[in-house]
Structure formats: C-alpha cells, structure tokens
Amino acid sequence: MGGAMLELARYEGRHRVRGAAAATAALGGFALLYIFVYPTFAESLGADIDQLLEAYPEALSKAFGVQSLASMEGYLASELYTFGWLLIVGIYFAYAGASLIAADVERERMDMLLSLPVSRARVVLEAFASLAVPLVALSTVVPVVVVVATEIVGYPVPAVDVAAIHLLSVPYLTACAGIGLVTSVVFDRAGIAQRVAAGVLVGLFFAESLVTDTDFEAVGVVSPTRYLDPNAVLRESEYAIGDAAVLAVATLALVAVAVAIFRRKDVE
C-alpha cells in the first residue's frame, strides 16, 4: 500500500534525477571555485582583509551577510552560503515548486491524471515530495565538497558546522519550494508561476536585509532568510533549531494552502 501511495512521487522523482545532477554539479563547482580562490585572496591582503568590508555598500553587506572575510568560515558564510545557497538555491527550489502543478495543467495532462483514482491532495503532496531528489543530492554532495576542498587548500572548516548549515537549510529550501507550490496551484501557466515564485523569494530576501536594524524589523518575519544565518552557524557554531522548526511549520502551512486551493480549482 505504501509503495502504491508513492507511485506519483517516484514517477516525478525519476524525472528530476538529471536536473538534480546538473544542479549538484553546478553548486559543487561553484563551491570549489570560491574555496580555491580564497588562499590567494587572503594571502594577498593579509591583515587588511577585513578593511574590504568598508568598501562594501552597507545595503549589500546586510543583504549578503558580509561580516568578516578574515576566515574561511566568514568568507563561505557570505560568498557561498548567503548568496549561492540561500538566494540561488532558494530560487531554484521556488522555481521547481512552481512547475509542479502548473506545468501539467498547461500541457493539459492534469485532466488525465485526475481521471485516475487519486485525490487532488495526493497529487499535490506527491508532486511536492518529488523535490526530495534534488534536496537530498544537493544536501549530501555539496557539504562533502566543501569539507574536502577547504582541507586541501589549508583552511579547513569544521565538518560538524558544514553539516549543520546543510541540515538547517533543509526546512529553508522546502519553504522556498512551498512558495513555488502555492504559485503553481494559483496560476495555470508554469512560466508565470515560476516568475512570480522567484520574484517573491528575491523580494523577501532583500526586504529582510533592508528592514534589519530599523523600526520595521518586525516585517521581516515573513522572509525565510530571517530564520537561517550562515554566519552564526559557520563562525559561531550556533545552531538555531527553533528557527528551523519555524521554517518546517511554514512549509507545512504553505503545502496545506496549496492543497486547499487546488481542491477548489477548476482545471480546464
């Protein structure tokens, strides 16, 4: 019974293997590039490395979490994890989530799927579950690349902290995918759903940095990036389990909203 219940998820998951492999290779290469550049960058600037921060526009420093470049941990937190992971990979999952339902509706395959003895809730839930393929691939391969590469270049980062940032990012990425899933059931065209999802995530990402340390800081609670701080994890070994729980609850809420909307939606 359990196998039959996951038939749709397995079918969708198989179709995501190639894309997951490409994304994992791209992020792994991205990580290697940043890591192998760092020794030259650090050695050429020496003790003056953090003076570069003064040249960064304040808004840019806040947006990309640039707190210190004097260690591999601070460098990776801002250059790889805030920009590459929270923003780029976040957009990837929002974009992927936005195609889950809308793509089949647009291609007129949803009518055929719904003619089978499956509920609309199951269609949404198993489509969402198929995103476990890229999530697992990225979350297992990239941390290994980071740990091994930093060891090779002589600036090792604790494996526990690297594992922690990737584990804590799982609910962050599922929340991003949840945003995409909601747009996927609202819009009948995948392209529109994807652009809206990506736009919402980018808007929330930069809005959070703009309101930090202002009178409007409370507004940032709706941004997923509020609940994952790469600097705290990699530089301070602080693991905000409570914030991860907030993101997990947000994911469940987004999926529930998507199910509720799709149950009432007319599929043409």
Instruction: Concatenate the DSSP letters of all residues of 63-120 into one string.
Output: HTT----SSHHHHIIIIIIIIIIIIIIHHHHHHHHHTTTHHHHHTT-HHHHHTSS--H
Average of pLDDT values for 144-163?
96
Looking at per-residue pLDDT, the higher value among 6 and 185 belongs to 185
- Confidence band, pLDDT 50/70/90 cuts, at residue 1: very low
pLDDT at residue 3 is higher than 50:
no
Q: Which pLDDT value is given to residue 107?
A: 87
The pLDDT value given to residue 213: 65
pLDDT for residue 47: 54
Looking at the chain, the whole-number percentage of residues with pLDDT higher than 90 is: 63
Say if 132 falls within a structural domain.
Answer: yes
- Closest by CA to 94, choosing from 177, 174, 189, is 177
Top-confidence range, 48-57, 169-178, 208-217: 169-178
Q: Look at 93 and 44; give whichever has higher pLDDT.
A: 93
Res 63 pLDDT > 60: no
pLDDT for the residue 2: 43
CA-based nearest residue to 265, from 127, 117, 121: 121
Task: Give the pLDDT band (50/70/90) at residue 116.
Answer: confident
Rounded to whole angstroms, how far apart are CA atoms 70 and 26? 26
Average pLDDT over residues 124-140: 96
Going by pLDDT thresholds of 50, 70 and 90, the confidence category of residue 259 is very high
268 within a domain of the structure (yes/no): no
SS3 at position 155: coil
pTM > 0.85: yes or no: yes
Residue 86: which domain range? 2-263
Of residues 7 and 54, more confidently modeled: 7
In total, how many domains does the chain have? 1
The tokens describing 63, both together, are 């947006």
Name the residue with higher pLDDT: 114 or 220: 114
pLDDT of residue 168: 97
Q: What is the pLDDT of residue 153?
A: 96
- Mean pLDDT, the chain, rounded, equals 88
In the predicted structure, residue 242 carries a pLDDT above the cut 70? yes
Residue 53 DSSP one-character state: H
Number of Cβ within 10 Å of residue 174's Cβ equals 24
pLDDT of 22 > 70? The answer is yes
